[in-house]
Amino acid sequence: MLDIRELREKPAELEARLRTRDASIDLSPILRLDERRRRLIGEVEELKAERNRGSQEVARRKKSSENVDSLLTQLSQVSSRISELDGELRDLDTEIDAIVQRLPNIPHASVPVGAKDAKVILRTFGEAPKPGFAVRHHLDIAEEKGLLDFKRAAAIAGARFPMYMGRAALLEFALLQFMLSHHARRGYTPVLPPFVANEESFFVSSQLPKFADEIYHIEKDGLYLNPTAESLLVNLHRGETLAASDLPKKYVAYTPCFRREAGTYGEEERGLIRVHQFNKVELFKFTTPETSYDELDALIADAESVLQALQVHYRVALLPTQDMAQQAAKTVDLEVYLPGQGRYYEVSSCSNCEAFQARRGNIRYRPSSTEKPVFVHTLNGSGLATSRLVAAIFENNQTADGRIRIPEVLQSAVGVDTL
């Protein structure tokens, strides 16, 4: 959530930057409401001062045995007016909050302006495979080998829910265990959080109120299924004031993720590319504002190290303003190449949300014992999501005789070197 004071102080500059994300953004309604709110606050403060002076005068007159009836009537009218204005202020606060809560974060100066096609490829790892045979789509080869069973999954839960079978189930768990242990060795504290969260938690993470239609809601219990562990981890220190010596705090969590994924995506609906349920290992950091972009670079490197260990070709892309999540100020994606489809797919989005989520969750730190608390910066990134990673292994590691090579770091857990 943005700071209304900052919007008030630099309205033209911030509106211009926000419009690079959404051309329809207009800050003037918020500013008008804010100006009215500040006028009302001034009026309430004057009335309260008048009431205080009147109360003192009542005490003085009573002490002198003077009549106070008219003054008490006047003070009653003042109190009624204060109550009336307090009600107006509450309504204004609600109206302002409703608008501000739907505004996206201000993009960092390094973020390219534009839609998806404006993304910038920063670097690549390895080269796209060029086998001397036709690489099969991961779904086709997996179904033939009995590794994925979407038909039976659909009978159990509906379309676009995956079911891993046999060695594919072992491969999935091998990936999760490898990634969780890998990041723990790199200094992240492992967390196994609840897989559901309440409304306040999803407000802090920024899924609510704007994206309510995209997440699964358990109405009877007032809970939501987790779409990404970011939603859970950002709430670990909700309402807390941390010491500077506590930062950065680095967490890694495993969770299943559930997303409605409404819409039609064509080829992306086949197989593991865009599903309603998938597993993910998530990286999350709480940092100081001064170090957050260095920590973002480190987080990206940590996510990349998984792909490097798996020897999967990938590229690193800086997302443009119109392709970032609401809470992000800067996002860098890791995209793996799927030769069976001849295109890249994102397996990790690494973002610096600056103080956007911390302001919603009142998460602060105290720079020193003599300084006032300030908001932390929050960072998140997949480290990694397994569904597209499994698809990448199935397509990149095919052999001419129809086998699938298991990455060396996973072979002992899966029990074989090929599928």
**Active centre residues (catalytic):** 259, 274, 346, 349, 388
Cα 343 to Cα 5, 161, 199, distances in angstroms: 44, 23, 37
Residue 37 phi/psi, 5-degree rounding, is -60, -45
**Can you tell me the distance from the alpha carbon of 44 to that of 39, in angstroms, rounded to the nearest whole number?**
9
3-state helix, strand, coil in the chain (%, to 5): 45, 20, 35
- What is the C-alpha separation between 53 and 337, in angstroms, rounded? 74
DSSP per residue, 232-266? HHTTTTTT-EEEGGGPSEEEEEEEEEE----S--G
Strand partners, 255: 280
Residue 272's identity, in one-letter code, is L
287 strand-pairing partners: 377
Based on the number of CB atoms within 10 Å of its own CB, is 350 exposed (0-12), middle (13-18) or buried (19 or more)?
buried
Q: What single string gives the DSSP state of each residue in 78-145?
A: HHHHHHHHHHHHHHHHHHHHHHHTTSPPPPPTTSPPSSGGG-EEEEEES-----SSPPPPHHHHHHHT
3-state secondary structure of 206: coil
- What span, in angstroms and rounded, lies between the C-alpha atoms of 219 and 296? 36
Separation of alpha carbons 76 and 98, rounded Å: 33
Instruction: Give the number of other CB atoms < 10 A from CB of residue 371.
Output: 10
CA 168 to chain centre: 29
